[in-house]
Amino acid sequence: MKIKYLILAAIAGAIITADQATKMWIHTHLQEGDVIQVISNLFNITHVHNMGAAFGFLADSHPEFRTAFFFAMPPIALIIILAILRGVRDSDRWTIAALSGVFGGAIGNYIDRLRYGYVIDFLDFTIVYNASSNPPGRFVYPSFNVADIAIVCGVAILLFLEFTRSRSEEPDTAIV
């Protein structure tokens, strides 16, 4: 077996394990909407049921469309990732790791959709500013989970690699 598939299995497996373990703890210890304050005016653990995609995208769409979309898209994305990975050199470890992160994150969230019909999110950042005003100003970042972190980091790495590769491969256009 090629090393890149072993790397995929190891990284994706670790992400899925961490993601599902944290979500199971949230699911068994908190009711939806419960909040544990970790850092005042900054970070909470909050049990959220996300019916949509990242940042609640499509959460308000028609339920039948949303269900069909979220059950069909992850397997398609996983097949695309495997097809891309097939063309990646074994020595290109950053690309392999990034694709593995997206792969593991997609599976972690897909497990939730199959099990519950929604994704469990729980990492909740709320920045309170102008605390002395009434009411205080508040920036609330959408709740997320371990799988989301893996997906975002994987995509960010892929974008960075693509940008740096395309910049380094540009032909020299200097006029001699």
Q: What is the pLDDT of residues 124-158, one digit of tens each?
A: 998 888 767 788 788 888 899 999 999 999 999 99
User: Residue 8 in 3-state DSSP?
Assistant: helix
Assess if residue 173 is contained within a domain. Answer: no
Give the three-state DSSP class for 34: coil
Q: Which of 19, 112, 121, 124 is catalytic?
A: 121
In the residue annotation, 121 being an active-site residue is answered as: yes
Q: Answer whether residue 175 is part of any domain.
A: no
Domain region containing 31? 3-162
DSSP state of 109: H
| Residue 176: inside a domain | no
Give whole-number Cα distances, 92 to 9, 11, 87, 154, 162, in Å.
16, 15, 10, 14, 12
Instruction: Please confirm, yes or no, whether 60 is among the known catalytic residues.
Output: no
What's the chain's average pLDDT?
89
* Residue 171 falls inside a structural domain: no
Give me the mean pLDDT over the 84-107 stretch: 97
Structural domain contains residue 172: no
129 in any annotated domain = yes
Q: Which comes out higher in pLDDT, residue 74 or 53? A: 74
84 within some domain:
yes
Q: Domains in the chain: how many in total?
A: 1
Catalytic residue among 19, 112, 124, 148: 148
